[in-house]
């Protein structure tokens, strides 16, 4: 069986159907081929080379919204599969995203540990996280969602760095992360019990389960997952205030597909996330009786539905889609006043709050394959989508309220043109009408791919994007500093932020019967106009107030280098390193009394990762991984009895977080099952922040570096073979 680019293009419109049909067919074909030619050494070498080429030419969706081989896509798409997530012992999405070039996950609160993703140095609000291609990762979910999505829910993650607003609309300036959940692909099961010990002080216990069923005709399938996590509080500096919060997570979900006909496919997904999170003073009392604490209880429901149909011998297709999520949150964020009268008033009306978020997205996408388009062939993609997002967040004691409804209608058009076998031109644009903007926003995008040199692809790209003047994840977080709480308000004159992005890259991969080796070098440049920043307005009786304003211009530029190698599937190496610089054109203020700075805070100029896996036998697997974080500048606020007496800028040291995992599988072929025993160490050298603020008046934003200190783990897994 041969799958060529023409077949893939004809099926590109019917994206989900074509992707998994092709991948399944390719794997079955490759296995049959290897079985039938086992005794012919020449053919074995050729078959081995063919299988290795499959690793290079993986099929991705996110770059063009249609399935395409990575080497044929004018936009670079990086992949993290479930095997990699397992090798680096990632418990959640946030732990897995660190192992991608140009990406950095940071923890931004010492009390609640909310996280954000930086792509090419741009903070979380500039990047869009999709769940099964749907932008239902709401601003509120952006605070804790990356820690709430377990890795056993994930099939793979596709990452596009740089602006893709022409396809995905607002908030896709920095890049897009597409989390694709487990798809039914056979009759399989997997149950895992893992225990982690964090510096011998507290434990993190994880129970997970997965099951998948597909009928004999492969036109009906369902997958299920469950996840239960229980982590205790961790105090790094013995002040009886936590640096890692307590977590109790219960998550479950399902994916379902049905093909009523060969040219039709219906897909449904559903997941439920329930989390309890507490950080602050380590006392067994209600949260409001702790001297300082944050408590959150999340109930999140997410789902999606996709129906696609291919027409005219797969030359045309139409897909209808819907995605939605509902988040209910009860929360507490409080610190005891020192004055007895104020403390009495505090107890009479403690700062509890509620949050409600509902997101709906629906639309249609049409694809048409032109076998002859001027010179060459092309796939024309057109679509329309509507997003409605309602955010309500309130703490009455602080007179804090966000009641925000955003509505965005977008239409997009894209032409993916194969001019010659070695030249591809991708052109597209999108119009967005956002209810917070007076005018529609036009976002064009151009990319060019040239692969006339053997094993090599050259790419250049340009695009524009925007961010609407709305509240994002960090705006919904209330931090502690100076004995009070800090809040962010939006300026009444806030305008949209616009971006222009340029990228250029060279990609090389060489495959032989015994090894694959390659590298990618990418240069990027993004210019932000009317860039958002937080201006210190002053203080009220509860603490500091910051106003989100438009500043002048800002630029982010740099180079990302990737390298990879695989020798006979025995040893595999992969790594990436980014050199960058992020600056405002005009210095901006962070804390009253401190000199304004041009540089982006909390943004290192150097960071990267590396992984090595070694499989000495069929049943043994060993892996070593590392994440490097360079020095960066933070603003550090003073507080009474915290150990920090003045407001100042602080220069961090660099960190190298190294982990190791070893596993052995005991197989039972007669029952097609196996048991894996595994264990290892995270952050072997304990490269972790050494100095934290003390006590209740601490600056909770003064946290940086790896998210975990040295941690030992062991686990057992029962799985199908």
pLDDT digits (tens, 9 = 90+) for 238-286: 999 999 999 999 999 999 999 999 999 999 999 999 999 999 999 999 9
Q: Are 95 and 86 in contact (CB under 8 A)?
A: no
H/E stretch holding 432 reads strand 423-434
Q: What confidence category does residue 2 fall into, taking pLDDT thresholds of 50, 70 and 90?
A: very low
pLDDT at residue 657 above 80?
yes
For residue 15, pLDDT beyond 60: no
In the predicted model, is pLDDT for residue 621 greater than 60? Answer: yes
**Sheet of strand 175-181, all strands in order from the earlier edge strand to the far edge:** 78-81, 154-161, 175-181, 127-131
- Checking if the pLDDT of 32 tops 80, the result is no
User: What band does 353 get if pLDDT is binned at 50, 70 and 90?
Assistant: very high
Q: What's residue 707's pLDDT? A: 96
Helix axes 15-36, 41-56, angle to 10 degrees: 160
Q: Could you tell me which residue, 58 or 141, shows the higher pLDDT?
A: 141
pLDDT at 672: 93
Judge contact between 108 and 86, C-beta under 8 A.
no
Q: What is the mean pLDDT of residues 611-615?
A: 97
The residue-averaged pLDDT of 462-468 equals 90
Mapped to the 3 state alphabet, what secondary structure does 604-615 carry? Answer: CCEEEEEEEEEC
Cα–Cα distance for residue pair 359/390, rounded to 1 Å: 6
Phi, psi for 94 (deg, rounded to 5): -60, -35
Across the chain, what does the average pLDDT equal?
89
Each residue's pLDDT tens digit, 485-541? 888 888 888 899 999 999 999 999 999 888 899 999 999 999 999 988 888 888 888
Q: What is the mean pLDDT of residues 147-157?
A: 95
Cα–Cα distance, 392 to 329 (Å, whole number): 10
Alpha-carbon span 501 to 558, nearest angstrom? 12
Phi, psi of 574 (to 5 degrees): -155, 140
- Is residue 377 pLDDT above 90, yes or no? yes
For residue 488, what are the β-bridge partners? 546
Alpha helices by DSSP H, 510-585: none
Reply yes or no on whether the pLDDT at 40 is more than 70.
no
Q: Which residues contact 624 (CB under 8 A, 6 or more apart)?
A: 611, 612, 613, 658, 659, 660
Is there a contact between 102 and 501 (Cβ–Cβ < 8 Å)? no
Domains of the chain (ranges, CATH numbers): 5-720 (2.40.170.20)
Residue 321 to residues 8, 362, 612, Cα–Cα distance (Å)? 22, 6, 39
- What pLDDT score was predicted for residue 149? 96
For the chain, the straight-line distance linking the first and the last C-alpha, in angstroms and rounded, comes to: 25
CA angle at 359 for the pair 355 and 364, rounded to the nearest 5°: 175
pLDDT 10s digits, 305-337 = 999 999 988 889 999 999 999 999 999 999 999
User: What's the pTM value of the predicted model, to 2 decimals?
Assistant: 0.89
Instruction: List % helix, strand, coil for the chain (3-state, nearest 5).
Output: 15, 55, 30
Number of neighbours of residue 41 by Cβ within 10 angstroms = 9
Q: How far is residue 1's CA from residue 552's CA, in Å, rounded to a whole number?
A: 57
d(CA 652, CA 658): 19
| Residue 610 CB partners (closer than 8 Å, separation 6+) | 573, 574, 575, 576, 625, 626
Instruction: Determine the pLDDT at residue 34.
Output: 37
Enclosing H/E stretch for 341: helix 340-348
Task: Assign residue 680 a region (left: φ > 0; alpha: ψ between -120 and 50; beta: otherwise).
Answer: left
Paired with 518 in beta bridges are 509, 564
* CA 231 remoteness from chain centre: 22
Asked whether 223 and 210 are in contact (CB, 8 A), the reply is: yes
Q: Is the pLDDT assigned to residue 668 strictly greater than 70? A: yes
pLDDT at 1 over 60: no
Tell me 151's DSSP state.
G
pLDDT of residue 56: 56
What is the structure's pLDDT at 33? 39
- Alpha carbons 112 and 153: distance in angstroms, whole number: 23
pLDDT at 26 over 50: no
Q: Residue 22's pLDDT is what?
A: 36
Residue 718: predicted pLDDT: 98
> What are the tens digits of pLDDT across the range 518-533?
999 999 999 999 988 8
**30 — pLDDT class (breaks 50, 70, 90):** very low
In angstroms, rounded to a whole number, what is the distance separating the alpha carbons of residues 471 and 128?
14
Please tell me the predicted confidence (pLDDT) of residue 72.
Answer: 87
pLDDT band at residue 57, thresholds of 50, 70 and 90? Answer: low
Element (H, E) at 380: strand 377-395
* Pairing status of strand 175-181 against strand 127-131: parallel
Candidates 221, 125, 170; CA nearest to 409 is 170
Q: Which residue has the higher pLDDT, 334 or 166?
A: 334
Q: 């960090």: which residue's tokens?
A: 474
What lies within 8 Å, CB to CB, of 499 at 6+ separation is 163, 165, 173, 464, 465, 466, 467, 526, 527, 528, 529
pLDDT band, very low/low/confident/very high, at 615 (cuts 50, 70, 90): very high
Burial of 595 per CB tally in 10 Å (0-12, 13-18, 19+): exposed
pLDDT for residue 679: 98
The confidence score (pLDDT) of residue 478 equals 80
């Amino acid at each position: 069986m041969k799958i060529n680019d023409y077949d893939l293009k004809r099926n590109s419109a019917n994206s989900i159907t074509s992707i998994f049909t092709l991948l399944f067919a390719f794997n079955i074909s490759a296995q049959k081929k290897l079985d039938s030619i086992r005794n012919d050494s020449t053919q074995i070498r050729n078959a081995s080379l063919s299988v290795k080429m499959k690793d290079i030419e993986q099929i991705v969706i996110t770059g063009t919204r249609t399935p395409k081989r990575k080497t044929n896509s004018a936009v670079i798409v990086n992949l993290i599969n479930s095997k990699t997530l397992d090798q680096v012992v990632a418990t959640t999405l946030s732990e897995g995203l660190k192992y991608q070039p140009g990406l950095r996950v940071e923890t931004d609160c010492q009390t609640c540990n909310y996280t954000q993703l930086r792509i090419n140095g741009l903070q979380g609000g500039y990047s869009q996280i999709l769940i099964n291609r749907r932008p239902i990762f709401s601003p509120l979910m952006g605070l804790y969602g990356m820690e709430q999505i377990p890795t056993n829910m994930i099939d793979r993650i596709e990452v596009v760095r740089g602006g893709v607003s022409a396809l995905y609309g607002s908030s896709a300036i920095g890049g897009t992360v597409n989390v694709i959940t487990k798809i039914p692909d056979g009759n399989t099961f997997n149950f895992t019990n893992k225990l982690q010990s964090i510096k011998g002080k507290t434990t993190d216990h994880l129970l997970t389960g997965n099951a998948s069923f597909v009928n004999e005709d492969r036109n009906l399938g369902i997958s299920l997952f469950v996840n239960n996590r229980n982590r205790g509080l961790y105090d790094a500096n013995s002040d009886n205030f936590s640096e890692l919060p307590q977590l109790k997570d219960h998550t479950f979900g399902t994916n379902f597909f049905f093909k009523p006909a060969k040219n039709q496919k219906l897909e449904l997904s559903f997941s439920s996330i329930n989390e309890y999170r507490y950080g602050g003073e380590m006392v067994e009392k209600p949260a409001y009786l702790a001297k300082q604490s944050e408590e959150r209880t999340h109930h999140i429901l997410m789902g999606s539905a996709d129906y696609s149909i291919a027409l005219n011998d797969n030359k045309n297709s139409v897909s209808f889609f819907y995605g939605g999520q509902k988040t209910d949150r009860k929360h507490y964020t409080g610190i005891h006043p020192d004055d007895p009268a104020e403390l009495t008033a505090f107890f009479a009306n403690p700062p509890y709050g509620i949050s409600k978020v509902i997101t709906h997205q629906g639309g249609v996408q049409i694809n048409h394959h032109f076998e002859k388009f001027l010179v060459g062939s092309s796939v024309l993609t057109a679509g329309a989508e509507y997003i409605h997002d309602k955010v309500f967040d309130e703490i009455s004691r602080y007179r804090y309220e966000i009641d925000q409804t955003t509505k965005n209608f977008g239409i997009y058009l894209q032409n993916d043109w194969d001019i010659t076998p070695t030249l591809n031109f991708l052109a597209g644009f999108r119009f967005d009408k956002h209810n917070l903007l007076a005018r529609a926003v036009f976002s064009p995008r151009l990319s060019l791919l040239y692969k006339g040199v053997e094993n090599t692809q050259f790419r250049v790209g340009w695009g524009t994007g925007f961010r609407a003047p709305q509240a994002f994840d960090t705006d919904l977080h209330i931090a502690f500093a100076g004995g009070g709480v800090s809040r962010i308000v939006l300026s009444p004159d806030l305008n949209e932020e616009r971006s222009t992005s340029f990228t250029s890259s060279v990609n090389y991969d060489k495959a032989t019967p015994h090894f694959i080796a390659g590298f990618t070098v990418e240069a990027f440049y993004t210019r932000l106009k009317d860039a958002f920043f937080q201006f210190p307005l002053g203080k009220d009786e509860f603490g500091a107030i910051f106003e989100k304003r438009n500043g002048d211009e800002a630029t982010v530029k740099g180079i990302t280098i990737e390298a990879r190698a695989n020798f006979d599937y025995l040893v595999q190496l992969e790594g990436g390193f980014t050199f960058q610089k992020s600056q405002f054109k005009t210095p901006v203020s962070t804390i009253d009394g401190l000199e304004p700075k041009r540089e982006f805070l909390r943004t290192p100029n150097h960071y990267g990762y590396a992984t090595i896996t070694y499989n000495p036998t069929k049943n043994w697997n060993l892996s070593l991984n590392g994440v490097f974080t360079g020095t960066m500048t933070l603003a550090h606020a003073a507080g009474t009895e915290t150990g920090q007496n003045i407001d100042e800028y602080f220069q961090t040291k660099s960190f190298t977080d190294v982990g190791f995992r070893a596993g052995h599988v005991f197989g039972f072929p007669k029952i097609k099952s196996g048991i894996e025993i595994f264990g290892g160490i995270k952050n072997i050298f304990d490269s972790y922040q050494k100095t934290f603020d003390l006590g209740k008046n601490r600056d909770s934003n003064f946290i940086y570096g790896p998210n975990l200190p040295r941690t030992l783990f062991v686990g057992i897994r029962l799985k199908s073979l």
